[in-house]
Amino acid sequence: MNNMGFFSQIKAGLQKTRNSLMSRMEGLLARNAFDDTFYEELEEILIGADVGVETTLLLVEKLRAKVQEERVRDGDRVMGLLKELILEILGRETAPLQLDGAKPAVILVLGVNGVGKTTTIGKLAGQFREENKKVLLAAGDTFRAAAGEQLQIWAERSGSELVKHQQGADPAAVIFDAVSAAVSRGYDVVLCDTAGRLHNKANLMAELKKIHKVVEKALPGAPHEVLLVLDATTGQNALAQAQVFHEATPLTGLVLTKLDGTAKGGIVIAIAQKLQVPVKYVGVGEGIDDLLPFNPAEYVEGLFAAQA
């Protein structure tokens, strides 16, 4: 099936062990019989992509109604309808960063542990540097061992500057310093790293609120973007993550990382439906160029491409 778009842009060096069999979807469509078994299979594909039970049932129910209403008999047309339904939720357009010409533009990057926040920041820094922007990174993860060092390496790779305190320092203070420094020294962009935190730890979520407040204080109108990084491998818990983070610090976008594996990250559909927060980027590798704008149409194609 369709393998165009960012799923194919994944680094060429990465040899894939993707299932070479004809995709399940093709097999399904070839039957041209839209009975209960068909819809059950469809459900399984969606659930298998981590779309979640609730959203899957909703989608399939709507699809059934449409197929009946429009008396569709053709498999491709049915798939087209389903993709439409998903795009209605995800939005059709790419969602670029809304920095409103702010100088400096402040971007806060959040997420649970191990989703790829620091790597995402490194890649974003690389993109801004390519546009010849002056970039400052704030090492707001003062908790995890060597997190600052990790960001430092990304600063060097991308040619950005770094504001870093020692381990255990107050992250809000680090970020305040960085934003203030960016204001006075004329930086274009400040990318703020934060420590990974599970959303059910109230004290850590309160810390986020404080960080948000401090950024606002250092620069009225900031942060201009608050990005939640989600691991595509994560299942239904990602919805809870998005909900709780959104409550603590209103999110402006999602970054879906690790899409170069076999996970589809379908939970973003459920999140988009519940919170109306758009996916802005996808991560497809460990290199500095492996961050791409999220293209909903391509994503939906990928969702139904060969299941490994």
Task: Pick the closer one to another protein by CB: 95 or 158.
Answer: 158
Beta bridge partners of 5: none
Of the ranges 20-28, 133-141, 196-204, 212-220, which one interacts with another protein (CB under 8 A)? Answer: 196-204
Please tell me whether residue 39 binds another protein under the rule CB under 8 A.
no
- CA angle at 112 for the pair 232 and 194, rounded to the nearest 5°: 120
Which tokens in the block code for residue 253? Answer: 């976008």
Please tell me whether residue 167 binds another protein under the rule CB under 8 A.
yes
Task: Pick the closer one to another protein by CB: 130 or 156.
Answer: 156
CB of residue 230 vs another protein: minimum separation in angstroms?
Answer: 10
CB 149 within 8 A of CB 122: no
CB of residue 257 vs another protein: minimum separation in angstroms?
Answer: 8
**Hey, which residues between 84 and 143 contact another protein (CB under 8 A)?**
112-116, 122, 143
Name the helix (H) or strand (E) containing 158.
helix 147-158
- CB atoms near residue 14 (< 10 Å): 11
Q: Which of 105, 108, 147, 279 binds another protein (CB under 8 A)?
A: 147
Q: How far apart are CA 43 and CA 36, in angstroms?
A: 10
Residue whose tokens read 């559909």: 269
**Hey, which residues between 243 and 262 contact another protein (CB under 8 A)?**
243-244, 258, 260-262
CB of residue 288 vs another protein: minimum separation in angstroms?
Answer: 11
**Hey, which residues between 43 and 62 contact another protein (CB under 8 A)?**
44, 47-50, 52-54
Please tell me whether residue 31 binds another protein under the rule CB under 8 A.
no
225-231 vs 253-257, strand pairing mode: parallel
Q: From 127, 124, 131, 132, select the one nearest 107 (Cα to Cα).
A: 124
CB 11 within 8 A of CB 290: yes
CB of residue 267 vs another protein: minimum separation in angstroms?
Answer: 7
Q: How far apart are CA 251 and CA 152, in angstroms?
A: 26
**Hey, which residues between 259 and 298 contact another protein (CB under 8 A)?**
260-264, 267, 286
Q: How far apart are CA 97 and CA 84, in angstroms?
A: 24
Q: Which of 31, 201, 209, 217 binds another protein (CB under 8 A)?
A: 201
Q: How far apart are CA 234 and CA 219, in angstroms?
A: 34
Task: Pick the closer one to another protein by CB: 158 or 295.
Answer: 158
* Residues lying near another protein in the complex (CB under 8 A): 13-18, 44, 47-50, 52-54, 112-116, 122, 143-147, 149-150, 152-154, 167, 198-203, 231, 233-238, 240, 243-244, 258, 260-264, 267, 286, 308
